[in-house]
Amino acid sequence: MGIVQRQGIRNTLISYVGLAIGFANTILVLPRLLSPSQIGLVATVLLPMATIGAQVASFGFANMGIRYFPFFRNQGRNHAGFFPLLLGPPMLGFVVVAAAMLVGKPLLLHWYAKDDADLLAPHYLGAIVLAACIMLGSLQDAYLRSLYHTSFSSFCQEILLRLMLVGAAVAYSKGIISFHGFVLAYAGAYGAVAVLLAIYLAAIGELHLRPTRAALRIKPLREMLGFGAFVLLSNISGTVLLNIDSFMVGAKVSFAAGGIYLIATNVSTALVLPFRALYKTAFSLIAEYWKEGNMAKMADFYRRSTRINTLLGCYLALGIGLNLNFIYGLIHRPEYAAGTSAVLLLLAGRLFDGITGVNGIIVATSPRYRFDLVFNISLAAAVVVLNWLLIPRLELAGAALAYCIALVSINTVRTWFVWRNYGMQPFDGSIVRILLVAAVAGLAAWMLPDTGNAFLTLLTRGSVLTVLYGAGVLLTGTAPEAAALLTTFRARLKR
């Protein structure tokens, strides 16, 4: 078994374990230990600000490292001084970013209400430290990925980091450290990951810190900077999409509202997990179809993946939406339930995003891949404008509605773009039948009376939804994959 295959298996296991830990942290643990305003400060202000600062400072060099390292590999024992080249410009960039963050502190504090600004001010420097730690960690992770050593980095970022963050929250809740100590520990957890990655690089003999002029002769720095700038725009737009709604809720309403909205976002994120799993395979498959020029296989995969996403997405969206009382009951803090309407709107937007299939991947791997950046920037801009208009009027629901409208709009345009340029669209009668079955099953489960016991209501509604949805899908023949799975299961039972 080759190193890539071994690392891939390990990374898959680590990702699933980390996913479970992350879900438990964000839904069950941290909301119990921290108040909404504290979660709002750390997760919707300090972390996004640090992430954007790290991305601007690194100037896309993490992705540049993966793209250009093959040209440097084995050029001497230190790969022609590639690692110092990877770190050098971002370190200089961080000096500029840190200075800009310090100068911009009064302006940023002015955005927030006095109570929130007073809460943010003592921890502002923590965001700068956190940005440095995130940047160093991402650059070393990119270097390790280029070297095909990914398991340790995945373990540190997916599992160890999350455990350290929970440990810091528990220490604060027990009175061992102050909240300021928690913020420092939060940044320190990212710093610990960066240090561990450096130690690992030294252990495998790849921590080469001496710069060489040879690095600049292999590939022009101007070319690498140009590639990094393109990647930076894409990364920034992605970060804006992930964080801007929570950030703006915190700025325009309160940190507490931002914390409540963040938990609502995390609840709705459970819907996209199967989509992300499929997209990991889809990217390489579609890239291969483009290489072969096999448009028929690509169109077939487009239709099948959309059908599967619709099938799973409708079931999960209904399961989450019908049982929000149970989910919020697990937190044991009633104030977080104010995000219920936001969860429903976010589920609608993310379901549409899944149903429209892999249009974004098709565009990103196509000869017209630059349009993917146009779409991402347009989506980010639309989210910002809509949030600016809707949050003052509808608060949390306004942010969720803005995100939903933006997702529906951009995916409609992407789907049209793929159909107009490549003659492919993923919809057929099976999608309509799945939506009808989902509507009937969801309505029947919703009409069941509340038993007064959240867990019993969950079991009752979940059972009715599962039976009606599963029977409807099988009887209408909308999902051949489900019918084939049932046939295989029956055959095994007979044996």
In a domain? residue 191: yes
pLDDT at residue 9 in the model: 58
Examine the domain organization and report whether 188 and 307 are in the same domain. no
| 143 and 257 housed in the same domain | no
Q: Are residues 118 and 10 in the same domain?
A: yes
* pLDDT-wise least confident of 198-202, 255-259, 353-357, 477-481: 477-481
pLDDT for residue 4: 47
In whole angstroms, what is the distance from residue 354 CA to residue 54 CA? 30
Higher pLDDT, 270 or 218: 270
Interior angle at CA 194, CA 189 and CA 195, nearest 5: 95
- Higher pLDDT: 332 or 8? It is 332
Residue 279 pLDDT grade (very low, low, confident, very high; cuts 50, 70, 90)? confident
In the predicted model, what is the mean pLDDT of the chain?
A: 82
Last residue of a domain, one of 202, 219, 236: 219
7 versus 63: which is more confidently predicted? Answer: 63
Residue 299 lies in a domain: yes
Please tell me the predicted confidence (pLDDT) of residue 1: 42
> Do 184 and 120 fall into the same domain?
yes
Distances (CA, A) of 352 to 65, 179, 306: 34, 39, 10
The SS3 assignment for 374 reads helix
CA angle 419, 423, 425 (to 5 degrees): 50
Answering whether pTM is above 0.95, one says no
pLDDT over 90 (residue 252): no
Q: Which residues contact 57 (CB under 8 A, 6 or more apart)?
A: 90, 93, 94, 96, 97, 131, 135
Residues 449 and 410 in one domain: no
98 and 126 in a single domain? The answer is yes
Residue type, 446: W
412-431 pLDDT tens trace? 998 999 999 998 988 888 89
Same domain, 306 and 382: yes
Please determine, for residue 71, whether its predicted confidence score (pLDDT) is greater than 70.
no
The answer on 442 and 410 residing in a single domain is: no
**Residues 19-39 as b or e (16 or more Cβ within 10 Å = b):** bebbbebbbebbbebbebbbb
Whole-Å CA distances, 62 to 35, 90, 138, 207, 295: 35, 9, 6, 16, 32
Max mean pLDDT range (1-15, 206-220, 459-473): 459-473
Q: What is the pLDDT of residues 147-173, one digit of tens each?
A: 777 778 888 888 899 899 989 999 998
pLDDT of the residue at 484 = 58
pLDDT band, very low/low/confident/very high, at 488 (cuts 50, 70, 90):
low
Question: What integer is the mean pLDDT of 210-226?
Answer: 67
Q: Is the model's pLDDT at 75 over the cut of 90? A: no
132 within domain boundaries: yes
Are 97 and 214 contained in the same domain?
Answer: yes
- Which tens digits make up the pLDDT trace of 305-318? 898 889 989 999 99
The last residue of one of the domains, among 185, 219, 253, is: 219
Residue 459, C-beta contacts closer than 8 angstroms, at least 6 positions apart:
none
Residue 343: strand, helix, or coil: helix
Q: How far apart are CA 186 and CA 47, in angstroms?
A: 9
Whether 124 maps to a domain, the answer reads yes
Residue 421: HSE in the Cβ half-sphere, 13 Å Cα cutoff: 14
Q: Residue 460 has what pLDDT? A: 92
Note whether residue 228 is domain-resident: no
Note the pLDDT of residue 440: 95
For tokens 């101007």, what's the residue?
A: 222
Residue 298, domain extent: 245-427
421 and 437 together in one domain: no
Residues 338-364 have a mean pLDDT of 89
- Within a domain: residue 48? yes
Q: Tokens 């029977």 — which residue?
A: 471
Question: N- to C-terminal Cα distance for the chain?
Answer: 33
pLDDT surpassing 80 at residue 138: yes
Same domain, residue pair 310 and 296: yes
| Residue 29 lies inside a defined structural domain of this protein | yes
Same domain (yes/no): 53, 188: yes
Boundary residue ending a domain (369, 403, 427): 427
Residue 490 confidence class, pLDDT cut points 50, 70, 90: low
Query: What tens digit of pLDDT does each residue of 387-397 get?
Result: 899 998 888 99
Domains held by the chain: number: 3
What is the predicted pLDDT for the residue at 377?
Answer: 81
